[in-house]
Amino acid sequence: MSAIAKQFYRQPLPSTCVDFSSELGKKLFSSSLLKGHANIYFKLAAQFRTQDEPAFCGLSTLVMVLNALEVDPGRVWKGPWRWYHESMLDCCAPLEKVMKTGINLRQFACLAVCNRLTVRTEQLYPDNKTHGTMEKFRQDLIASATSEDTVLVASYDRGVLGQTGVGHFSPIAAYDEGSDRALIMDVARFKYPPHWVELSLLHQAMQSVDVSTSAPRGYFVMTLRKDTRPLILFRLHRSFTIDSKQLNSQLIEWRAYLQATPADQSEELISATLTKFHQLFEEYSLCCKTTDDEECTRCSGMEAELDEQMSRCCKLICKQVKAGGVYERMAALGLAKRHAALTALLLAWPLDIEPPTGRVEGLRAIIAQDVQLFDADAKNEIDLLQTQIRTRILCIDM
């Protein structure tokens, strides 16, 4: 009896929500469609999914958005198909932890940026009169609903809507002007169907405080970052996460090391800096998207995973990285087995310390010499890797 008592088949929608499939729900959708306020619905509906785990609402929502915006993950899902799945979104927080606690606002933003989305985050502080207001939220929602390439995702407290549960993520697919309601595509489909809610109530639900961050929730406006292609060769190790205490201490040590340095840029100083970088960050570099220590010569055997064109592109990127001065220095110092992966990590590493010290200027100089000779594909690889590194570092510093 106790086992049966713990089982549930969905939950009834509270009176604050209108079932999408009800007569009223259909009328609201028809009205929004006629006004042009449901354009993004069709992109989202084509990718509507049920979250794989009870705490995966954030990951499943992001997967839905990425596939709706036709973002190529550059990674195989199953068979020959490149397609986003929750299991791929492990770059900002360990999946094992997400399965237990879910993700918060900054982790969601981190994952979105790392996967080639442009993200504007609006946290709804009640006393803020310029950002996150009802009027601003309505404007952003209408802009998203009338588009076919911009998605708005809400992070809100279910309890405010009269639903069971607390924090939740869901994409918003349409807006009805007459009733001032938004259509929530709830990824917990085992619990609630898609439903309409009044904008004022949803806005209130997004103002609730997330106890894990002591900050309010909010919403995101997301589009695909233009003129970018997916990473195909290099990646960060899964341990490079924003909640890693080890990584945080290593970043602090690296910054202090760069700042405490003389103004000269001697070859000995550069060699010492490369050695320090290897000591701190070598474990986070991966080549050919493997988790072992194989060098980039493995590119010759990637045809099983990549099509011929991408495999050729991968080899050319690797060749360009190996042809540069940074790689030569790494190899000469004997710093690592996978010189190319560590070299790419350094080429992409943000050197934002101002005013620049001798070590910073020395690194910037040798990196610039290499990158200026790269073709568009190699530059894209380094730029995207740098975006991922910078985004995670900024999230750690928040």
Q: Which residues participate in catalysis according to the annotation?
A: 57, 168, 186
Looking at residue 156, the DSSP 8-state letter turns out to be E
- Alpha carbon distance 382, 321 (integer Å): 10
- Alpha carbon distance 157, 144 (integer Å): 22
- Alpha carbon distance 167, 88 (integer Å): 22
90: amino acid identity, one letter? D
Which residues pair with residue 182 across a beta bridge? 175, 197
346: helix, strand or coil:
helix
- Alpha carbon distance 141, 170 (integer Å): 13
DSSP letter string over 243-284? T-HHHHHHHHHHHHHHHS--S---HHHHHHHHHHHHHHHGGG
**Which string of b and e fits 262-295 if b means at least 16 CB within 10 Å?**
eeebeeebbebbbeebbebbbbbbbbbbeeeebb
